[in-house]
Chain A
Amino acid sequence: MSNEFHIVVCGSIVPDPLQTLEPVQGAQGPELKNEMMLPAVLDPWAGHALYEAADLAVKNPGSKVWLVSLGPKAKLQQVMMNIAQKVPFELVCADGSASGFTDSFEVAKVLAQSIEGIQGMDKSKLLVFGGWQSASRGSCAVMQMVGEMLGISEQFQGVDKLTAGGGGALEIMERIEGGAYQVSVCTGTPAVLGWATGELPEPPNNPQVGMQNMRLVMPALQQAKPANVQGSSLTFQSVELPQQRRETRVVKDMPVDDMAREIAEWLNS
């Protein structure tokens, strides 16, 4: 039996992981040096969530996928050109900071409001997806608060697998300590799932999907409402890069036996 899901994926942009990041003090608190210049990508965990959502929607005809994103419009537009070719979705954009230094509660509030405002979304069919953490704040807290604000008490974090069974039941595998999984069965929607890596590879670029998504993405960006995420007293006393350089002792021309002995002693110490 097939289920119809209304899947809302929460996900925003983070700096391209290969960039060099440096904190600076901005007018509103800490920010990244040249933040608006840094190339951005969709947060990798949110990406996994989005690909899982699209896959679930394909397997359950009648389902729909929305991507709810809080981020600066101009940057989101750029990132959309990278991900809109991957899978079909409808974008809901809140135009505001995607900084990792923003209070997670404030972010959750904006996301929950954006989800509530989605036209045609049926809460009884709702699955809220997102990354279980992010490459910016990495708080692992936003999804839970979004769920609470939407009144959803079935929540899962570190999800690698979701199987939708007949009758709407959901079997979910969550990461727990020691590389193990906790397996749970939830009777059905609504539920919140914070994804770890999932099981799907990144889909190839499909220009047709891109063309189709873009018809909705550009208007969504134009209609994006400004989002205020400054409503907290969170203040940073400092943000610093760790000092990394060490004095390296280079050991050459030492017999292998002596090297092995030295390493063994070190490992056993």
Chain B
Amino acid sequence: MSTILYLAHTETDGTLAKISREALTAAQELAEGMGAELAVGIIGADVSAAAESIGSCKARFLGVSGDEFSQGRYASDVAAAEALFKVVTPDVVVAPASFRFSRAIPGLAVRVDGRVDTHLTGLEAENGNPVAKRWFYRQRMMGEFAREERPWILTLDPGCFASFEGAGSVDVELVDAALPEMRTTVTGIQAPDADEQTIRPDAKTLFVAGAGWTKKQSDGQSHVQEAEEVISQFLGVTKASLGSSKSLVDISGEGQAVISFLTHLHQVGQTGSTPRHTKGLATCCHGEEPHVVGWRFINERRAINTDASCGWAQGKADVLYVADAFELVKKLNELLA
């Protein structure tokens, strides 16, 4: 009988993140589909709370714990994963594609002579064998694939499986991981100020500001400062994540009056990011193809533009409001406040 090893790491508060719980659902479903046994391996300073938070999962529980494993470091994480692997010797490893594991888990493939596929968005068993799905070429095409090599190590992207819920008491077998000489020390975390932060990956809504905000309005003047106020007020009341079109980001590079809090990191589209949010509201942006490519993971899309025949109208948005964004978003801010 084959075995699946689910690997996770604790957060700084000892809990499991949502992405880790989602990966557990995937691992469990895969185990059922393959008729395989499931083992859970958790890495962290203290893994007991995390293990109990998913204790109802029918699996063997293992852990690597200690201060060396409180923070993500490649050398300690991959050593811990290797130690857990050697106890279970699974055919398939399933782990969350968190930043910490995205750093460490691919290296495990070399240590255990396996193969790795990362950032999966789908995983299921077909005729008792795992079949994986992920995006290629920057989310521009979806591939479905399988392979014969084992062990097969897989990491899963967030938002593709339901989060596993079900606490229960469990006994965790602690495993010793032999650490090499540790040459890296984590010295701190630099977190951005919550109020300053305008890129919010976990937000429900993406708000995209296009170049129109800085262009001359009907009175022949541009109102960049007013645009800044309207946009930041909207972000304040909705806690939406801020995105931008390439043209607006490019204007900033050319020294024109621009929205001061926008940087190239905000750029959404073919040459920018492809964020994931439930809803997206595009304002003063034409909805041209290279930009809309970055909206692939925005489920519900609405746009505000003065041009009724802009790109958004061509099957790219669910609803296009033909209106002046200054006026409309101000009204919206009043309603939402």
Contacts and interface: CB of A to CB of B under 8 A. Distances in A.
A215 interface: no
B332 interface: yes
Given A141-B116, A180-B191, A252-B308, A154 B332 contact: no
B149 A233 contact: yes
A257 B186 contact: no
B143 interface: yes
Residue of A184, A185, A233 ringed by the most chain B CB atoms within 10 A = A184
A251 B319 contact: yes
A147 B302 CA distance: 45
B55 to A, nearest CB: 25
Q: Which secondary structure dominates chain A's binding surface?
A: mixed
Contacts of A251: 319-322
A249 B320 contact: yes
Interface in B299-337: 300-302, 308, 312-324, 327-328, 331-332, 334-336
A187 B98 CA distance: 26
B238 interface: yes
A177 B12 CA distance: 12
A39 B117 CA distance: 27
A155 to B, nearest CB: 4
A247 B264 CA distance: 31
Contacts, number: 253
Contact of B335 (A15, A140, A261): A261
A240 B138 contact: no
A244 interface: yes
Interface in B110-163: 110-111, 115-119, 131, 135-138, 140-149
B322 A252 contact: yes
B215 interface: no
B190 A173 contact: yes
Residue of B107, B187, B315, B317 most packed against chain A (CB within 10 A): B107
Nearest to A103: B115
Interface of B: 71-75, 78, 97-100, 102-104, 106-107, 109-111, 115-119, 131, 135-138, 140-149, 180, 183-192, 197, 199, 201-202, 205, 238, 264, 270-271, 279, 281, 290, 292, 296, 300-302, 308, 312-324, 327-328, 331-332, 334-336
Given A234-B147, A257-B331, 12 more contacts: A138-B138, A142-B106, A176-B100, A179-B197, A180-B189, A183-B188, A183-B189, A237-B146, A241-B140, A248-B320, A259-B321, A260-B328
